[in-house]
């Protein structure tokens, strides 16, 4: 049976795959698993999609039913909640969000008292307890958990964001932000206004169904137009829970996570704030990033796909900068997890210190064409053992002949296999990706 927890918590179609019953059970199991000899205290946040209130209520009820106290933060970004669990000295936190996924999906992820996503072993313990309901506590009276509303805590997160750069660092900058009709819709504009930015705000009117819909970090086209029309210095786009950031330069060209990492690395290298002279990326990081970093005398360390694996390498080796092409950037000396708003603030401050516009800085990464296809594959757990897929993979790699890269992996959040081919020529990359995708679909897609 597939593991319930993926690379970013439990996720699925709300009210069908991720049901209130499952959310209630997760609350009970997590409250019991994280009880360490005293009554645990959880912070619980959510994004503004329609199903979040339903699932948050069930999750909170489950936590309280095993004796955990709960502070309901309301709508907050995922990295905001990770900051607040440390700030509040709470035992753990739980976020109801499906991040960049469409409104009909939702998810639940947990953070430790230190603001890190829970390790696999603890998630496995929670998952195991879901099947042992009879063993979980059923306190009565004063043993029940208390539930209180603490939405005001989110202001401390805004204080943190605004205080992450020196006073005046961004004063007078003309900026457009796209909040994806998500959790950043109030927080991001407030943070940038405190920083003295001349601000234009897009897609900051969530109605529960429009989160990520043709906007935000997955769809930066409207942001690019708005930057050009406003004559702004830059634009920033976040996803539904604002753990990602994609930038737009003053000419309307998009900078992805690889290009953002290169700018941040150049700035930190110049300041002597890049321990080990290393940036941590993933197997999906473009070869162009690796080459651009090498020109600076900086090494790229690659990990498996997923911010948790990037963070693991950073913690293990003592590195402070890492991320993914999606715009999920971790600034380990400032925060415990990827934070889109924080990334945007640091990017703009870096560009000012480097004394160059984003258009010039972004061009330092000469990206190789990279084609990614998502192949629906309910049987994706058989990817590594399927002989026809292995044969097709070997054939693609032989044809690339060392002039490109291939990544074939099951998604940790969706029932798809991701096929990525990178080559010197886009047509060659697309043809190779499509050949391999057809085999994957034939072998794994029809079960």
Active centre residues (catalytic): 99
User: Distance of CA 115 to CAs 42, 78, 97, 107, 334, Å?
Assistant: 12, 10, 16, 18, 12
Tell me, what DSSP letter sits at residue 14?
A: B
* Residues in CB range of 226: below 8 A, 6 or more apart: 176, 178, 200, 202, 232, 235
What is the rounded distance in angstroms from the CA atom of residue 129 to the CA atom of residue 24? 12
Pull the structure tokens for residue 381: 């757990």
Tell me, what DSSP letter sits at residue 93?
A: E
349 in Cβ contact with 169 (< 8 Å): yes
Helix (H) or strand (E) holding 107: strand 105-112
Tell me, what DSSP letter sits at residue 95?
A: E
Phi, psi angles (nearest 5°) of residue 48: -90, 15
What three-state secondary structure class fits 246? strand
321 in Cβ contact with 331 (< 8 Å): yes
What is the rounded distance in angstroms from the CA atom of residue 371 to the CA atom of residue 325? 13
Phi/psi-derived region of residue 72, left when phi > 0, alpha when psi is between -120 and 50, beta in every other case: beta
* Residues in CB range of 355: below 8 A, 6 or more apart: none
* Residues in CB range of 260: below 8 A, 6 or more apart: 245, 247, 323, 327, 329, 343, 347
């Amino acid at each position: 049976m597939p593991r319930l927890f993926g690379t970013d918590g439990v996720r699925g179609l709300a009210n069908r795959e991720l049901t209130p019953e499952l959310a209630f059970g997760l609350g009970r199991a997590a409250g019991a698993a994280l009880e360490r000899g005293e009554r645990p205290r959880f912070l619980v946040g959510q994004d503004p999609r329609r199903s979040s209130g339903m699932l948050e209520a069930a999750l909170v009820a489950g936590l309280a039913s095993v004796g955990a106290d709960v502070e309901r933060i309301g709508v907050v970004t995922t990295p905001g909640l990770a900051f607040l669990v440390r700030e509040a000295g709470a035992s753990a936190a739980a976020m109801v969000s499906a991040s960049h996924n469409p409104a009909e999906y939702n998810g639940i992820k947990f953070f430790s008292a230190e603001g890190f996503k829970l390790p696999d072993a603890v998630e496995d313990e929670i998952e195991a307890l879901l099947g042992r309901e009879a063993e979980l506590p059923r306190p009565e009276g004063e043993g029940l958990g208390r539930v209180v509303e603490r939405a005001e805590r989110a202001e401390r997160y805004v204080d943190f964001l605004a205080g992450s750069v020196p006073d005046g660092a961004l004063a007078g900058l003309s900026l457009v932000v796209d909040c994806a009709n998500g959790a950043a819709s109030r927080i991001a504009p407030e943070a940038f206004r405190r920083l003295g930015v001349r601000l234009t705000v897009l897609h900051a009117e969530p109605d529960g169904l429009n989160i990520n819909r043709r906007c935000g970090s997955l769809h930066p086209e409207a942001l690019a137009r708005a930057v050009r029309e406003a004559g702004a210095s830059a634009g920033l786009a976040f996803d539904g829970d604002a753990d990602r950031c994609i930038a737009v330069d003053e000419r309307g060209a998009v900078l992805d996570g690889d290009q953002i990492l290169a700018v941040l690395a150049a700035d930190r290298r110049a300041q002597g704030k890049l321990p080990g002279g290393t940036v941590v990326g993933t197997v999906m990081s473009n070869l162009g990033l690796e080459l651009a970093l090498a020109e600076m005398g900086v090494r790229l360390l690659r990990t498996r796909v997923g911010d948790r694996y990037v963070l693991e390498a950073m913690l293990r080796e003592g590195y402070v900068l890492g991320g993914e092409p999606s715009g999920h950037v971790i600034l380990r000396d400032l925060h415990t997890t990827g934070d889109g708003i924080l990334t945007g603030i640091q990017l703009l401050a870096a560009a000012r210190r480097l004394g160059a516009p984003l258009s010039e800085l972004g061009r330092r990464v000469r990206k190789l064409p990279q084609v990614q296809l998502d192949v629906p594959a309910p049987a994706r757990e058989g990817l590594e053992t399927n002989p026809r897929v292995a044969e097709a993979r070997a054939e693609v790699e032989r044809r690339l002949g060392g002039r490109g890269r291939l990544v074939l992996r099951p998604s940790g959040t969706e029932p798809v296999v991701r096929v990525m081919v990178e080559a010197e020529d886009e047509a060659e990359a697309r043809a190779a990706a499509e050949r391999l995708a057809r085999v994957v679909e034939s072998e794994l897609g029809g079960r």
